[in-house]
Each structure stands twice: as structure tokens, then as C-alpha cells.
């Protein structure tokens, strides 16, 4: 068996043969040195690569920590100078806040209360306070104011069944005023009672023959004394109010005479507004005391 040139030579003599004879060939020291240097370079390269990988891993871990700390799952791009200082962080506001006593504003005063009984309705009262001025404008209509009157004998200024109604419910005063426009005149009568209940009862007791007596004078001739006229009845608070409207030439009113109906409606609406304004004025004065 041979291991190449210069290797040991085994003889055929078995155990009794001579020992092997080694050749005299010298080792290649340069090759050995080069192989050793190559192994050293590989070792250094492995060390450098391992260190770089470790650095990358640490950086990735820091980046993950920064992303997690941002709160929204996205890395913040703000520089460190934009971050709030510790003194800028708001304090804990989870504690109880200041407490305040519950207060409530008083309910507004009802104007109707001040015209519903004589005890509260104490403002000066006359035909002039309810119907001031010399003219009345309602929409496109401008009515001229005529005569005014006031009496404590309510039945004396009533026609038909109205006198008995006013007396029965203790009417204390009846004020009247007349307005006219283009041959049509209307008288408004405002009956005053102690309470709203009595005024409402008077309105309900009135029938189609309960008519306030028309008031002539101040340029308005007598009207609606014998002719057929249109009348209305209503109430608000402690006041019942009535209208009678017709032609100043004595002609009877028929359903198609819309001008007469409009005149009566205008004066009825104005009377309601004036009584309500009276209540509003007294409620405002009481609230400011």
C-alpha cells in the first residue's frame, strides 16, 4: 500500500519486518502560512458581520419602541424641540370640578293675569287710554275716530237683550268709541267686570239680540238704530267687548257687504290688542319693581 511518493514503505515480512523508512522531503512552510492567514481573514470577517447584524437588530428594536410610544401606530416626525416640556403637560383633571348651586329664573309674568281681576288691573282706565289718537290704521284701512263715551250704568248704553246680560253679571262700566270710513261706521263697546269669570259669563249669556248701542257724533250721523247691522261679541280677561257696524245712510247690511264685516273685524281685533297691551304694560312694570 502506498500513500504517495516519500510515504512509509511497509514490507511483506509481517511483524518481524523492518520498521518503515521515512523520506527526507521538507514541508511547504509558505503554503501553510498562507492557509493560516486565510483562516484568520475568514474569522475576522465573521466577527465584523456579526457585529453589524447586532447593531442593525438593536436599531430595529429602538425603532419599534419609538413607533409604539407614538400612540397612533405611526412614527412621529417631530424633532425633539417640538415635544412638550414636562412643565407643559396638563395636570390630572380627573378630580371633581367646582360645584355650583342650582338656580332657576322666575317664570315670566302672564299679561293676562293683570287684566283678569280688578285687584291686579289697577292702571288708569278710560276710552282714551284704550283708544288713543284721532285715527286708526289697520292694514290699508285708515279709520277716523268719532265720539267717545263712558258710563257706569251699563244697561243704558245697550240695545236688545244686552242690557239685561250686563246687569246680571255685574258690569261696572261700559266705554264706547266710534270709527268711520267711506260711509261705514262701527261702535265698539267695552264692558268692565270685577273678574274674568263674570266677563266670560256675560259673553256666553249674550245672544244675537245682544247689541251695544251705536254712538253718533263728531261727524258721524246716527246709524244702526233701526236698520239691520252686523254685531260681534267677545271677551278677554275681565273685559267683554262688542261691536256694531253698518252704513251711515241707514241702509241694511246684507251678507255680501264685506266692507261692513271687515270694518267690524278690524275694530274687534284692535280692541283685543289694546286690552292685551294693557296687561303687558302692567306685567312689565311689576317685573321691574
DSSP notation for 201-268:
HHHHH--TTEEEPP--BTTB---SSSS--EEEEEEETTEEEEEEEEETT-PPP-TT-HHHHHHHHHHH
Q: What is the pLDDT of residues 213-228, one digit of tens each?
A: 999 999 999 999 999 9
Domains of the chain listed by start with CATH number: 125-288 (3.40.1000)
Burial grade of 149 (CB within 10 A; 0-12, 13-18, 19 or more): middle
241 Cβ contact partners less than 8 Å away, ≥ 6 residues apart: 188, 189, 190, 191, 233, 234, 235, 268, 271, 272, 275
CA atoms within 13 A on the CB side of 279: 20
SS3 140: coil
Q: Which helix or strand (DSSP H or E) is residue 175 part of? A: strand 173-181
Task: Label the pairing between strands 158-160 and 210-212.
Answer: antiparallel
pLDDT at 209: 96
Please tell me the distance from the alpha carbon of residue 286 to that of residue 35, in angstroms, as a whole number.
Answer: 117
Cα–Cα distances in angstroms (integers) from residue 214 to residues 225, 226, 248, 263, 285, in the given order: 7, 11, 11, 14, 35
Q: What is the pLDDT of residue 288?
A: 87
Could you tell me what percent of the chain has a pLDDT over 70?
63
- What pLDDT shows up at residue 118? 97
pLDDT at 109: 87
Query: What's the pLDDT band for 100 if we cut at 50, 70, 90?
Result: low
Higher pLDDT, 124 or 29: 124
Q: How far apart are CA 281 and CA 284, in angstroms?
A: 5
Characterise 219 by phi-psi region: left (phi > 0), alpha (psi -120 to 50), beta (else). left
Q: What is the pLDDT of residue 108?
A: 78
Question: What is the distance between the alpha carbons of residues 151 and 174, in angstroms, rounded to a whole number?
Answer: 5
Give residue-wise pLDDT tens across range 147-201. Answer: 999 999 999 999 999 999 999 999 999 999 999 999 999 999 999 999 999 999 9
Q: What is the pLDDT of residue 148?
A: 98
Task: Tell me the per-residue pLDDT of 5-26, one tens digit each, with 9 for 90 and over.
Answer: 444 433 333 334 344 444 445 5
User: What is the chain's mean pLDDT, rounded?
Assistant: 79
Amino acid at each position: 500500500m502506498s500513500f504517495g511518493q516519500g510515504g512509509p514503505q511497509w514490507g511483506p515480512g509481517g511483524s518481524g519486518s523492518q520498521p518503515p523508512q521515512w523520506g527526507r522531503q521538507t514541508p511547504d512552510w509558505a503554503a501553510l502560512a498562507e492557509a493560516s492567514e486565510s483562516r484568520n481573514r475568514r474569522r475576522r470577517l465573521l466577527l465584523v458581520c456579526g457585529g453589524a447584524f447586532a447593531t442593525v437588530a438593536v436599531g430595529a428594536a429602538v425603532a419599534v419602541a419609538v413607533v409604539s410610544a407614538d400612540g397612533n401606530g405611526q412614527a412621529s416626525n417631530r424633532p425633539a424641540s417640538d415635544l412638550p416640556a414636562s412643565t407643559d403637560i396638563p395636570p390630572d383633571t380627573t378630580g371633581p370640578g367646582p360645584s355650583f348651586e342650582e338656580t332657576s329664573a322666575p317664570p315670566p309674568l302672564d299679561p293676562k293675569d293683570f287684566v283678569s281681576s280688578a285687584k291686579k288691573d289697577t292702571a288708569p282706565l278710560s276710552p282714551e287710554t284704550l283708544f288713543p289718537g284721532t285715527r286708526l290704521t289697520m292694514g290699508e284701512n285708515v279709520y277716523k275716530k268719532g265720539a267717545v263715551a263712558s258710563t257706569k250704568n251699563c244697561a243704558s248704553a245697550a240695545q236688545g237683550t244686552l242690557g239685561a246680560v250686563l246687569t246680571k253679571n255685574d258690569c261696572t262700566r261700559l266705554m264706547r268709541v266710534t270709527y268711520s270710513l267711506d260711509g261705514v261706521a262701527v261702535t265698539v263697546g267695552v264692558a268692565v267686570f270685577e273678574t274674568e269669570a263674570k266677563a266670560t259669563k256675560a259673553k256666553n249669556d249674550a245672544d244675537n239680540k245682544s247689541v251695544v248701542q251705536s254712538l253718533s257724533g263728531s261727524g258721524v250721523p246716527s246709524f244702526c238704530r233701526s236698520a239691520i247691522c252686523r254685531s260681534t261679541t267677545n271677551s278677554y280677561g275681565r273685559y267683554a267687548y262688542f261691536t256694531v257696524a253698518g252704513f251711515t245712510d241707514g241702509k241694511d247690511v246684507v251678507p255680501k257687504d264685506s266692507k261692513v264685516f271687515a270694518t267690524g273685524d278690524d275694530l274687534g281685533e284692535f280692541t283685543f290688542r289694546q286690552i292685551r297691551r294693557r296687561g303687558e304694560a302692567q306685567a312689565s312694570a311689576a317685573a321691574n319693581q
